A and B are shown apart, each in its own frame.
Chain A
């Protein structure tokens, strides 16, 4: 956990986990939801979304299921696993700690 890219990557993981906390979603919906909720600030690149989803799946934090979507097409829905929930808690705590620390520095100036 020492490389600068980890922050970005870890953040995307956190965002994905948080987004699918309530209900299973497919990739496109996850990207859309992150975009909407962040008030269009965060644009998820497809180039990093799918590798991230697949990595989280390989880690056992999310599980995927093919099901009929609202359009009537088959789509791959991602849902949080029990391990993923724990991971979400851990990453949230980590994020809070980190953003609080950054805030401290930024606010001081």
Chain B
């Protein structure tokens, strides 16, 4: 039962420590008393006996310490004592402590926030069975153009996917999904709403290992054209159906058609992002009641689906992919002139989800790491300065027998206390910052799941200790070495100050400034690229333009005449509204993305050689007033007219890029385009219009416009309205026109053109301004460090300067001397930082729009700013030194 006894005594030692201490004193006193008694018994006088007893007994304080050292929890006592000392010293210099804590709070808070985002976006395993065995499979074109921008991952055509799945056996299974939009209305006659949806093959959910919370997932038999079943995501189930389980087995209306709800997906399922609201079987998109015929399932050149595959145990990814590649190459040979890729390429599913945010995230993470480093260096610098002031204290304690480790531990406790306090404040800050960041960053794929949790807190704890070590070790070690005893020998007449200490601080500063320069340059490059993006001319009107999306349900609008009647009536009503300058109706608004593209062939040109892929163009639809409405200039020929109705008329308008690229030196008007997906009929080019960017940071792409009055139902359309003043004021009046024509038709995505552009710019501006914020903060920290070091130096050299001035040195000479002394680490740091920036700039090049990585303007202005700020930081202490009264300086000795 020894452990019970041990436990008892440990508890006693923990809670009755003070009592045990008194008892120990009594015990030792008792011992001495007995010794005195014995001594008296041998005939000594009382005084003699007491002294002799104390002599034999030794140092009672030391003995007490040694006995206490054997108690349990001694380590706790030591730590508590260190903390008490630490708090006391920090409390004594409150200004220093508050600054240091604030610095660490900002650094740790920012790092925690970013880590939270990085973790949930890049590191957290997907909520699937064995997510490590999942991979995305894309088509991969070999030609140089596709590989130029590392654009190696091309969406898959449905025909390819079905061939891969049936003809290869390297993967356990392969599934596919695609984006789709539906107008959702329920039986009870509520207002319809447009919901983003996805279509997945029947095996997708079992392949991912996702079980519906209620009901079941799709069966193989349901994955066919015309099937009318749907699964709800948890968010739609909760928001639209109030979490009522009875919806399973009931019917909802999608585009007016009844669909049976067969299952509800779990809350954790937000793949591929949180925007998707419901799922339908993949093949059900096609056939009866859909604009896409069942033959679409077998197309090999319509790239729009995503394929996810599960690896088979014992088959390597390379083996499985080579099988699929072999099938794909056969397909490529089979369709020599169509864009059917030669190869396939696997892509990590996490990376696929992170897509465009990975690099900006890593960049921000690096920026935060740099700032954290600067923060630590600054705290280290401040600690070195303080340890210089406490040199004598440390030396005396060392001389009295304090072990070096004890002294180091005490100093480390101080930096740990600073970092801990900073960490607590920082984590609180980051709770707010993370929420803001995940909201502000529109491209994050899993924004809904970004939150601070145990792992993140653990990370922050690790960060706190690492920072404490980084900031504390250098000053602690340097201030407790053997050389410390020199401080005792140094008389007040020593004028040089500690050379090695100053050298250490200057080295720290140089590193700090170098890192700051890198951050500033990265921020400068990102900002410049962002500014360039802001001033990009989209090619059409962007001020005071309101856009509204809608889709006419094919069930109600089942004939082209009905579709056209609605569209034309709508345009007429909207154009008649007071304050409306123009209105256009198209498939997509400029700046809102690439949309779909098709390959074409110019009928009048010689046929392409065997093996060459046909040229590619984006496909848009436009009503006759579209171009004037959006102020897109006509360069040649004419716009569409009211007579260009339906594909039967076969008219098309091309943009300038297409004209210049494929009709060099000839007039394209009157020529004909053949577009294989639309069959044998040719389209006559009636006009050429100016280029319009499909995305602000992308160059214009060849584009073909078809008449909107072809009368297609069930397809997304966008109404763009140019207004005389604030476009949002027109939102309600225009929606009233919709309601007047068809009260059941939902209008979605009401936004201004500036908002659409802003959304793609927003993420750029976010990362640019965040990096800039980090850089400015780093600059501030570095200049505070510079100021601190130079002030310290000036104090150290007070006597020397006093003598110099007394001997006749001019004030300007002293000023120059001090200034150069302070600027030397700044210059060295600047040079190092500029050199490192050249490398760093290469790394972020893919994030920059139209800017050279080594931008002289940015490099020069950063250098200028840094020099100006560091000169300013050095000027104050230098000035003060040069104003020194020599008599005063020499007398204070």
Contact = CB atoms under 8 A, between A and B. Distances in A.
A28 B34 contact: yes
Nearest to A47: B58
Contacts of B35: 28
A59 interface: yes
B70 A46 contact: no
Contacts of A28: 30-31, 34-35
B70 A55 contact: yes
Given A28-B30, A60-B6, A46 B58 contact: yes
B23 A66 contact: yes
Among A51, A71, A75, max chain B CB count under 10 A is at A51
Nearest to B58: A47
A83 B2 contact: yes
A58 B26 contact: no
Interface string A30-63: 0000000000000001110011111101111101
A7 B57 CA distance: 24
B56 A47 contact: no
B30 A58 contact: no
Q: How large is the interface on B (under 10, 10 to 19, 20 to 34, 35 or more residues)?
A: 20 to 34
A17 to B, nearest CB: 14
Contacts of B72: 58
A73 interface: yes
Interface string B1-24: 111011001100100000000011
Contact of B5 (A53, A63, A74): A63
B53 to A, nearest CB: 10
Nearest to B33: A73
A50 B28 contact: yes
A53 B24 CA distance: 11
A46 to B, nearest CB: 5
Contacts of B58: 45-47
Contact of A50 (B1, B37, B56, B63): B63
A51 B69 CA distance: 8
A22 B860 CA distance: 89
Nearest to A76: B27
B576 interface: no
Contacts of B5: 60, 63, 81, 83
A10 interface: no
B2 A76 contact: no
Nearest to A83: B2
Contacts of A71: 34, 37
Nearest to B20: A54
Contacts of B6: 58-60
Contacts of B69: 51
Contacts of A58: 6, 9-10, 13, 70-72
Interface residues of A, number: 27
Nearest to A48: B66
Contacts of A18: none
B71 A54 contact: yes
A98 interface: no
B67 interface: yes
Contacts of A50: 24, 27-28, 31, 63, 66-67
B26 to A, nearest CB: 7
Contacts of A82: 1-2
Given A28-B30, A73-B33, A46 B67 contact: no
B30 A76 contact: yes
A7 B356 CA distance: 68
A50 B6 CA distance: 19
Nearest to A82: B1
B30 A47 contact: no
B182 to A, nearest CB: 74
Contacts of A61: 2
A109 to B, nearest CB: 37
A74 B33 CA distance: 12
B26 A74 contact: yes
Contact of B67 (A54, A63, A81, A83): A54
A47 B62 CA distance: 8
Contacts of B28: 50
B105 to A, nearest CB: 41
Contacts of A66: 23
A47 B61 CA distance: 11
Contacts of B68: 54
Chain B, interface SS category: helix
A69 to B, nearest CB: 8
A28 B39 CA distance: 14
A58 B10 CA distance: 7
A24 interface: no
A46 B9 contact: no
B23 A46 contact: no
Contacts of B24: 50, 54
Nearest to A63: B5
Nearest to A29: B34
Given A47-B63, A54-B71, A58-B9, A27 B23 contact: no
Contacts of A52: 70
Contacts of A51: 63, 66-67, 69-70
Contacts of A59: 6
B30 A60 contact: no
Contact of B30 (A57, A75, A83): A75
Given A51-B66, A58-B71, A46 B34 contact: no
A78 to B, nearest CB: 10
Contacts of B10: 58
Among A46, A63, A82, max chain B CB count under 10 A is at A46
Contacts of B57: 46
A27 B24 CA distance: 11
A81 B30 contact: no
Contacts of B27: 26-27, 50, 75-76
A60 B71 contact: no
Nearest to A73: B30
Contacts of A55: 70
Contacts of A63: 5
Interface string B57-89: 110001100111111100000000000000000
Nearest to A84: B2
Contacts of B30: 26-28, 73-76
Nearest to B5: A60
Given A51-B69, A51-B70, A58-B72, A46 B2 contact: no
A61 B34 CA distance: 26
Contacts of A53: 67
A49 to B, nearest CB: 9
B175 to A, nearest CB: 63
Nearest to B64: A50
B600 to A, nearest CB: 86
B67 to A, nearest CB: 4
A105 B68 CA distance: 40
Interface in B26-61: 26-28, 30-31, 33-35, 37, 56-58
Contacts of B1: 82-83
Among A27, A58, A82, max chain B CB count under 10 A is at A58
A90 B269 CA distance: 64
Interface in B66-122: 66-72
B33 A60 contact: no
B107 to A, nearest CB: 43
B72 to A, nearest CB: 5
7 contacts: A27-B27, A51-B67, A52-B70, A54-B71, A58-B9, A60-B6, A76-B30
Given A26-B30, A60-B9, 6 more contacts: A28-B30, A46-B58, A55-B70, A60-B6, A73-B33, A74-B26
Of all A-B residue pairs in the complex, the 7 with the closest CB atoms, nearest first, are A83-B2, A55-B70, A60-B5, A60-B6, A28-B34, A54-B70, A50-B67
